[in-house]
Amino acid sequence: MSVEVGVVGAGAWGTALAQMLSSDGRDVLLWAREPELVAEINDDRRNGLFLPSAQLNASIRATENLADMADVPVLLLVTPAQHLARVLGGIGRSGGDVVLCSKGIEAGTGRLMADVARDAAPDASLAVLSGPTFAHEVAAGLPTAVTLACEGGEAQWARLASAIARPAFRPYYSDDVTGAEIGGAVKNVLAIACGVVDGLQLGQNARAALISRGFAEMQRFGLALGARPETLSGLSGLGDLVLTCSSTSSRNFSLGKALGEGANAAEVLGAQATVAEGAFTAPVLAELANQRGISMPIVEAVISLLKGTAPARDVVAGLLSRPLKAENTLV
């Protein structure tokens, strides 16, 4: 089996990407950590644990051997952000295109995924794929648009666009890798906050206000780290933020909703089959912001909720009692 594209990680998002990429009959190699999941995908054309709604295409082949991915020209990495270094290092990648599809910041180091990948695969050409994408909709072939940010500029874009684009999956070119990464990481934390608003039944006005003020926090943080405003306002920033702050199809929103309803964060996270990346990103995001003197009160509120230091209503009351000021997204 000669494949042009491989997908590393067979969670809901990785499986949906494999399904989309194989929609025109092209062969796709999909790596899964669990042998039983590999067997289910290959034998039954199903991923009952992570994407039960999809009947998988026949041109997807699953493997549990990371080494099978070493020579695939284009790799999409869809592992949880905190495991990216270990998994990419285990592939033994030398050259080729690596497209980062995980959204987060590495705990303990504060590194964005591109920084992690540069160390784990220094010879690879890196890109970031990010945007408003619910896995079940992508797998079903519903129209989707994303940002594809390429460190290698337009030459890399030309290679990747032909490998990744499909009639219902439309990538838009950028060379702002930092901006694409920051939008995806920060929106996960803000989605938890919007879930809390929903869990507390505070209404649509409150959610719209939180999305707007959360976007201001994303802009402050992103611009301080060198992201471009148009990237943060695009699909990988504002677009992804609006989607994940509006539906229980978002794992992070679902976590926040449970917290707003009075659940314990550790118990909710322990019961989830999939990873709510915002819970891991929030503390390191706040630490990076504090080091740079960037105000991110919504992110700080999420951390309080995750730690369980105060009831959700008290945390929201604290946000509402902040001093009144002019509406300015950059202070």
Q: Which helix (H) or strand (E) holds 133?
A: none
Report the C-alpha gap between 84 and 301 in whole angstroms: 27
pLDDT at 326: 86
Backbone angles phi, psi at 212, to 5 degrees: -65, -45
Q: How confident is the model at residue 275 (pLDDT cuts 50, 70, 90)?
A: confident
CB 127 within 8 A of CB 100: yes
The DSSP symbol for 81 reads: G
Over range 111-139, report the average pLDDT.
96
Looking at the chain, the whole-number percentage of residues with pLDDT higher than 90 is: 86
CA atoms within 13 A on the CB side of 109: 13
State both tokens at 320. Answer: 């509402």
Report the C-alpha gap between 304 and 255 in whole angstroms: 14
pTM of the entire structure? 0.94
Q: What is the pLDDT of residues 160-195, one digit of tens each?
A: 999 999 999 999 999 999 999 999 999 999 999 999
State both tokens at 66. Answer: 């990371």
Q: How confident is the model at residue 331 (pLDDT cuts 50, 70, 90)?
A: low
Active-site residue (options: 187, 257, 307, 325): 187
Query: If 0-12 CB within 10 Å is exposed, 13-18 middle and 19+ buried, where does residue 135 land?
Result: buried
Q: What Rg value do the Cα atoms of the chain yield, rounded? A: 19
Active site annotation includes 257? no
Closest CA to 178 of 230, 242, 253: 230
Closest CA to 107 of 124, 92, 85, 89: 85
In the chain, where do the E strands start and end? 5-8, 28-31, 60-63, 74-77, 97-100, 125-130, 144-150, 169-174
SS3 content of the chain, % helix, strand, coil (to 5): 50, 15, 35
Query: In Å, how far are 47, 297, 319 from 294, measured between CA atoms?
Result: 42, 10, 16
Q: Mean pLDDT, the chain, as a whole number?
A: 94
Q: How far is CA 33 from the centre of its chain?
A: 19
Over range 142-154, report the average pLDDT.
97
CA atoms within 13 A on the CB side of 64: 10
CB 265 within 8 A of CB 283: no
Report the C-alpha gap between 292 and 240 in whole angstroms: 25
pLDDT at 328: 74
Q: How many CB atoms are located within 10 Å of the residue 106 CB?
A: 19
